[in-house]
Amino acid sequence: MAAAHIALLVVVLAARHALLAAGSDAHPGYDATEDTCGVPAAEYGGGRILDITHAYRPDMPEFALGEVTGPLVRLRDSMADGSVCNLSELRMHCHMGTHVDAPGHINQAHFAAGLDVDKLDLEVLNGPTLLVDTPRNTNITAKAMESLNIPKGVRRVLFRTLNTDRKLMWKKGDLSYVGFTEDGAQWLVDNTDIKLVGIDYLSVAAYDHLISAHVVFFKIPNIILVEGLKLDDVQAGIYMLHCLPLRLVGSEGSPIRCILIK
C-alpha cells in the first residue's frame, strides 16, 4: 500500500508542477469567477488548494422539502435603511449543502449520550484521504465496495459517484441518487479501516436504504459521514483533507467547510 501511495503522490506532484509551470494565476482567491454548474472546482494557491464545499444557494436540493425556503442569508439591518451597520441572519437546517452528520442523527442512544457535532473528532476530519470513483452502474453495494480494492489502513475516503456526473447538487430533490446500500455500509465497516466517509450528494445512503445504511454506519459511533461534497473536476488520488464543522452544541448535523490540499 505504501508503494501505491507514493506512486500516486508522485503523479499528483507532477501534475501540480505542470500546473505551476503553466503559470497559474497568482491572484489569491477564486480562480473560477462563479461557483455554478459546469465551472471547475474553486482553487486557491495556484491550484494547490481545492475547495470541495458547495456554495449555499437558496435553490439547493434538500431532504426536508419545504422546510426552509427563500434566501439563506438575509440582510436584517441595512445601512441603506439607516442602520449603523449591515447585519445578516442565517436560516437553514443543519443538513443542508455540504454538511456532516453526528452519530445522534439516526441513533437515539448516541443523541442522548450527547454525541453532537461539537464532539466530532477533528483528527478524523483532517488528514490524508483517498478520492475514488465508484462504478457508475450501481449503488455502493458490498460488491461495489469490494471492487474498489481500498487498502487496509486507509482511514478517509471520498466516494465520487454518478451523482457528480448527473450534477445532482444542482437539481431539486432527485431521489434516484447513488449511495450506500445496507450491505455496502456493512462491508465497509467489516472489511476496511475507513473512519471518514465522504460522498457527493446529500446522503451517504441510497434512498431505499436511507435509514438502514445510516444505522450500520452509526452503530459504533466511530465513523464520520460528510455529505454533499463538491467533487467535480478533482482528480482521483491522494490528498490532505481538511474539514471543519461549526461547533453547534446539541446539534446532530452541521454545515462543514472541506478543502483538499495537493
Q: Least distance (Å) from ligand NAG to the CB of residue 234?
A: 21
Q: Least distance (Å) from ligand NAG to the CB of residue 218?
A: 19
Q: Which residues of 100-123 are buried (b: 16+ CB within 10 A; e: fewer)?
A: bbbbbbbbeebbeeebbbeebeee
Contact characters 86-105, ligand NAG, x per CB under 6 A: x-------------------
Q: Specify the residue, 108 or 137, whose C-beta has the smaller distance to ligand NAG.
A: 137
Residue given cell 500500500 in the structure block: 1
Angle at 206 between CA 202 and CA 208, to 5 degrees: 130
Q: Pick one of 138, 189, 219, 248: the residue that binds ligand NAG (CB under 6 A).
A: 138
**DSSP code of residue 195:** -
Report the candidate in 140, 198, 202, 131 with the shortest Cα–Cα distance to residue 171: 202
Q: Least distance (Å) from ligand NAG to the CB of residue 141?
A: 9
Q: Specify the residue, 43 or 101, whose C-beta has the smaller distance to ligand NAG.
A: 101
Q: Least distance (Å) from ligand NAG to the CB of residue 50?
A: 26
- How many CB atoms lie under 10 A from the CB of residue 93? 14
Q: What share of the chain is helix, strand, coil (3-state, %, to 5)?
A: 30, 25, 50
Q: Specify the residue, 107 or 139, whose C-beta has the smaller distance to ligand NAG.
A: 139
Specify which residues 10 forms β-bridges with: none
Interaction of residue 139 with ligand NAG, rule CB under 6 A: yes
- Among the candidate windows 47-55, 93-101, 115-123, 131-139, which touches ligand NAG by CB under 6 A? 131-139
Rounded-to-integer distance, Cα 139 and Cα 176, Å: 10
Q: Least distance (Å) from ligand NAG to the CB of residue 202?
A: 13
Contact footprint for ligand NAG (CB under 6 A): 75, 78-80, 86, 137-139, 162, 176, 178, 206-208
